[in-house]
A and B are shown apart, each in its own frame.
Chain A
Amino acid sequence: MVDGTPGGHQELLRQQTALAQFGEMALMSDDLDEILTEACRLAGEALGTDLAKVVELQLDGKTLLVRAGVGWKPGVVGVATIMAADDTSEGHALRTGEPMISPDITTETRFRYPAFLTDNGVKAVANVIIIGRQGKPPFGILQIDSREAREFSANDTAFLRSYANILAATVDRFRVIDEVRQEERRLPEALEVQVADRTGALGKSNAQLDAFAYTISHDLRAPLRAMEGFARILLDDFGDQLGTKGERFANRIVLAAERMEKLINDLLAYSRLQRYDAKLRVVDPTPLALKSADEARAEQGSKVTIEISATLPPVLAEPVVLGQVLSNLVSNAAKFRKPEEHGQVRISASREGDRVRLWVEDNGIGIAPEHQAGIFNVFERLHGEETYPGTGIGLAIVKKGAECMGGSSGVESTLGVGSRFWVELASAANTAEWVERQEKSSA
């Protein structure tokens, strides 16, 4: 049933489609188990079998746990283990790093095989290693199982190797994300301990976080550049060989890579705010509002009108952070339009005692009451990527940004009518610096 000749055209096409589909899915999903399961399904399908699994090397360095799989009876996935010993094909694969093929385990004499394979009617197995980060042990093994004895051609193993490498990159991406999350959880505790000896220790912690953010942006970007770069080369220089479908898939890789790039940038901006020690000064919000309006117009074109009220009073803020906050609010206001309706956005201000509220108001789709608190959380999204693209970090940056400038933020909204987002900051109208500036400009 397997065409082992190099000209197995259908087979190659099926394998390439599986690679493209998996690459795309791996970028979109944020659930590692889902990705691993889907990886098994697609790889199995590409090789004409409905049985496959990913076994993960445990901390002891010799136990392999069946982490994900398709086609297995209950009691295998998440439960069954295999020892990576000298007399198992898994141990051999891990030690040599080479793909290991067992065409028929019932007549096999080289290795012994776990009982659950026979229980599930497995005859043939192909092992290909999922490498770990440089200097780290492998993540585990991708295993393609078959209920019939069979050979795997050179094409098959080459396919499995590239497939397992994408899988390795994906697993690595999750490790990095885990580290970010752990670091974020650790941070508050770390700060608490340091209260007694604040100055020196805080400086050190910031330096560590700088190094950490650097690693994240460097290491997450490197594979991204490769994805974008190679997919772009395929499109530009091999377009005629790709066919319409291939071209579409390559395009989707490029788009997914661009999305991820934006996500990394937003995450970095957000993580910087987590520990931002804002040096507040007198800021005139008007130029920042004008700039964010320009950006939003560039994104949305003629589908939106943005108006800025003549007098935005001065506030105590940090210009870069306030610029980012306003830019996110205005960009959202312009983006979440009702379909087929012209967008109206208005930036204005109101004064409450010694506080100033900057308002960004729209006639867009509005937000239901039950969602109004949640939208300021990281990764909180109410809409699909197709309708309203975004990273789910914009409003989290608004909230954190306002807080680190000693202010607050919020929203008033009616579903189907529009939203009014606000940030509240200390007024700077009575500060000596502002009074002096006014005197100078009127003189």
Chain B
Amino acid sequence: MTGTSTILLVEDNPDDIELIEYAFEKAGIDRPLFVVQDGDAAVEYLGSSHDSAYRLQHPLPRLILLDIKLPKRSGFDVLSFVRHQDRTKHIPVVMLTSSNQPGDIKHAYELGANSYLVKPVRQDALLEMVRSLNMYWITLNQGPYQ
């Protein structure tokens, strides 16, 4: 069991964080959204060297939203870390990035991303995207943990 239906957002741009948080709020999704702002922090959050008190405060997420261009450690490195750790390898990872470069898309899937989304410029499109994400990955999708 991976705790409640927590979502982990790995994103360094404060504007994007606020816009995504607002879209979650507006879409009426009241699941806890944890935000970490660089690759190292993501690995730290998801790592196994924590006691149960930490995990209670920072539950393993049901879904990871992952940017590619991140300080300290790229989204690809984080993805690869997630897939090589027993406790996290099945967590759905959705890339949420501004890159639509074919090379990035291919690389993300090769490393085991479940989905690849390009951040929309328009706010209403972002709202729509967040709604679908929640509907599919949290509500409909049957994860291995239930």
Contact = CB atoms under 8 A, between A and B. Distances in A.
Interface stretch (A137-145, A153-161, A224-232, A306-314): A224-232
B98 A221 contact: yes
Interface in B1-31: 13, 15-16, 19, 22, 26
B123 interface: yes
Given A222-B13, A223-B15, A228 B121 contact: yes
Nearest to A228: B121
Given A218-B98, A218-B99, A232 B123 contact: yes
A229 B99 contact: no
Nearest to A223: B15
A65 B46 CA distance: 48
Nearest to A221: B98
B99 A214 contact: yes
B16 A222 contact: yes
B15 A225 contact: yes
A172 to B, nearest CB: 13
A225 B19 contact: yes
Interface in B90-146: 98-99, 101, 103, 119, 121-124, 126
Contact of B22 (A233, A257, A261): A233
A228 B98 contact: no
A229 B98 contact: no
A30 interface: no
Nearest to B22: A233
A210 interface: yes
A223 B15 CA distance: 8
Given A218-B69, A225-B15, A225-B16, A232 B22 contact: no
Range of interface residues on chain A? Answer: 20 to 34
Nearest to B104: A214
A258 B121 CA distance: 9
Interface string A156-173: 000000000000000000
A232 B101 contact: no
Contacts of A236: 123
A370 to B, nearest CB: 38
Given A221-B98, A221-B121, A226 B15 contact: yes
B101 A214 contact: yes
Range of interface residues on chain B? Answer: 10 to 19
A225 B17 CA distance: 12
Contacts of B99: 214, 218
A229 B126 contact: yes
A272 to B, nearest CB: 12
A225 B119 contact: yes
B122 A228 contact: yes
Max chain B Cβ within 10 angstroms of own Cβ: one of A221, A237, A261: A221
Contacts of A237: 26
Contact of A229 (B69, B101, B103, B123): B123
Contacts of B119: 225
Interface in A220-278: 221-226, 228-230, 232-233, 236-237, 257-258, 261
A62 to B, nearest CB: 28
Contacts of A214: 99, 101
Nearest to B12: A134
Contact of B122 (A217, A223, A230, A232): A232
Given A214-B99, A218-B99, A229-B126, A224 B121 contact: yes
A210 B101 contact: yes
A108 B98 CA distance: 49
B123 A226 contact: no
Nearest to A235: B123
A233 B15 CA distance: 13
Contacts of B121: 221, 224-225, 228, 257-258, 261
A214 B122 CA distance: 20
- Nearest 5 Cβ contacts at the A-B interface: A226-B15, A232-B123, A229-B19, A229-B123, A218-B98
Interface of B: 13, 15-16, 19, 22, 26, 69, 98-99, 101, 103, 119, 121-124, 126
Given A214-B99, A229-B123, A230-B15, 4 more contacts: A222-B13, A225-B16, A230-B19, A233-B123
5 contacts: A210-B103, A218-B99, A221-B98, A225-B15, A225-B16
